Structure 1
Amino acid sequence: MIGIGQSLFLVPNNSAIYESAPRERYGLVGGMVALNRNLAQSFGQATAGALWTGVVLANAPAGISELEAPSFALMLGFQTVFAVSVVCAAAAFVVAVIVRPPRATTTAPA
């Protein structure tokens, strides 16, 4: 699932980024793309982990760690993380559609 999503997004996105930069700046652009990708992945993992831990501990009996929590609390944590991820992905899709520049139309010569 992740591979399909990344292949549908990363290749066209990176192509658009590189096409908008002058050729002599490709090294800088590549570094910025990699930096942004790493920051986003790190922030996403940290946020998902914090959300999962919070949900598990809130739904587990008092006094136990998240590793000792009953399976319903663990699954509720995963379900919550995935639900929030879907909402974020849907919001990102809406923003991408709204801010997308219109395609240039060309007319065929008569």
Structure 2
Amino acid sequence: MRISGVLLSILLIVLTGCQKEASQVSPEEINAAQEETILENAWSYVQTTQMPQSEEWQDAWMQGEIETLTLTKAHIRSANLEDRLIGQSIYSVTPSAELNLIAEPTLLVDPESMQVIGVLPGE
């Protein structure tokens, strides 16, 4: 009886872990409306900062590149995020390459709310 309880617990843990992995999103799964929302939210965030806000920059952010990023301890420290986010997949947004920047910032976006949750400085 005790062994079956342990096996059931292990099975539940494994299945829960599989569900979390399957729920992670990737840029390939983003539809056009979601992409537009993410980029608009990124630009709205930029407007609340001291980052450049010229029309050229607006175009660069509105045509930005969206990628999936799995947060590491280094990301968490750089963007001043909570440790509980380590290992989570989020979106990262960078301005389009048209500006030819050496050090462009990367905005970190929550895949559920599609809001900016942090910024990684350019390198």
TM norm structure 2: 0.28
Structure with greater contact order relative to length (CA < 8 Å, sep ≥ 6):
2
Q: Higher strand fraction: Structure 1 or Structure 2?
A: 2
* Rg comparison, structure with higher value: 1
Q: Higher helix fraction: Structure 1 or Structure 2?
A: 1
